[in-house]
Amino acid sequence: MVFTELRFLFFFLVVFVLHWTLSGATSRKVLLLISSYVFYSAWDWRFASLLLLSTVIDYWVARAIEREPADRRRKGWLTISLLANLGILGFFKYFNFFVQSGAGFLGWLGLPVDVPTLSIVLPLGISFYTFQTMSYTLDVYRRKLRAAGPLDFAVFVAFFPQLVAGPIVRASDFLPQLTTLRRWADVVVRPALTLFLIGYIKKACVADNIAPIVDTYFAAPATFTASAAVLAVMLYAVQIYCDFSGYSDMAIGTARLLGYDLCRNFDAPYLSASVTEFWRRWHISLSTWLRDYLYITLGGNRGPAWMTYRNLMLTMLLGGLWHGAAWTFVVWGALHGLALAAERALGIGVAAHGWRRLVRVPLTFWWVCVTWIFFRADGFPAAMITLKSFVLWDSPGTRSLPPFLYGVVAALAAVHVLTRLLHRDERPDATTRLPAWGYAVAYGAAFALATAALPLQYRPFIYFQF
């Protein structure tokens, strides 16, 4: 069950009405917990047991860490949590990848082996909720957070708006919201509904209509011209942004309608003037997670410069591997790591104004598009063909893409800039100034137009595979 399906609308309406009908905080949390497991089980009920297992393990480990005064034993409990979480994630997501990579390496050494692989189905959202539960036990271990009760912790892990594709919510941000009764009077309805609609349009109308064009190119990149390659890569940049940020918008809007606040996950990332700034605007919940729990743990920017560059590279390599079990994702992470290290060495930060920003924004976008090639391509041969076409404008292909798509990219870029300018100062939502009937008419018309623009074929969210 996903946000763009009709059955989610009926599911959420039932949860919404019951949630605000119930008067007790405990009864509402029980409802949210049951609803979240129903939501997750609609995909495959068997994998709900993994969600429950992670919840039980980290609940008991956190309680043990909090009770234990000895640092050595606290570290032992934390190790159990990390091994359990990473073990589950590693088996379901990386088992075949490491087995096949090991066999390939042995074959390269002249020691060919025949290794078995397993038909493993990747559980939906496992990377997201694994990082959430790990951050919880790490915060309890660092004494930044008190261990939560079983119901509160279970709701935190399984909360359905952000369960399968983020944002990656911190326990320190979400758990305090469960300790007080949510009040309908505190819910700002119109901005929440508007944000959900914006996310719906991004995903269903923009990303899903672009997807067939991108798929056509990447299915046979050698048959297309260089200009088609440039256009396809830019369209993929639009697709993945609208797909993922659209999901985040809908998740945040849905949570707000239930009285809960989730962290912002995107902030006009393609207007960044450096790769450093890009990672402060793209998938913010993941980039801050990697910073706080991996980069700083490795040493951050403490010590000599070479250690800082090492920490940046390791963080981005593991960040790339988090996205998928393929070497192309590792290369994607490595390219971002190299860019971050180069910017740090050259003293290029996030501050850029005037003509410098006008120059650096398109250069940053170009580099991000180069890295997207490895993120999207079906293997290294296809990636290298596309890379050659995109960077050197050299391709043997003759097929082209419709020229009007350049206009589509330009129009969407203008919307991206305009949206950033309108919301730069965190101004109040303009919809709050409309009369109720005016807002209802405008919302209904926008939703009708969005529905009319839906593609015939439904497409799952890209980040569901991670």
Residue 399 in 3-state DSSP?
Answer: strand
Is 323 among the residues known to form the active site? yes
Phi-psi region of 413 (alpha: psi -120 to 50; beta: other; left: phi over 0): alpha
- CA 60/CA 288 separation, integer angstroms: 26
Q: Which helix (H) or strand (E) holds 235?
A: helix 226-257
- CA 85/CA 53 separation, integer angstroms: 10
Residue 357, both tokens: 């920003």
> Side-chain half-sphere of 103: how many Cα atoms within 13 Å?
11
- CA 449/CA 100 separation, integer angstroms: 47
Tell the burial category of 65 from Cβ atoms under 10 Å away from its Cβ (0-12, 13-18, 19+): buried
- CA 158/CA 136 separation, integer angstroms: 13
Q: Name the residue among 88, 408, 24 with its Cα closest to residue 235.
A: 408
Catalytic residue selected from 283, 323, 353, 416: 323
- CA 462/CA 466 separation, integer angstroms: 8
One-character DSSP codes across 429-443: PGGGGS-HHHHHHHH
Residue tagged 């939502």 (tokens): 429
What count of other Cβ atoms lies within 10 Å of the Cβ of residue 282? 23
Report yes or no: 132 and 168 within 8 Å, Cβ to Cβ.
yes
- CA 362/CA 385 separation, integer angstroms: 23
In DSSP terms, which residues pair with 399 in a beta bridge? 224
Catalytic positions are 323
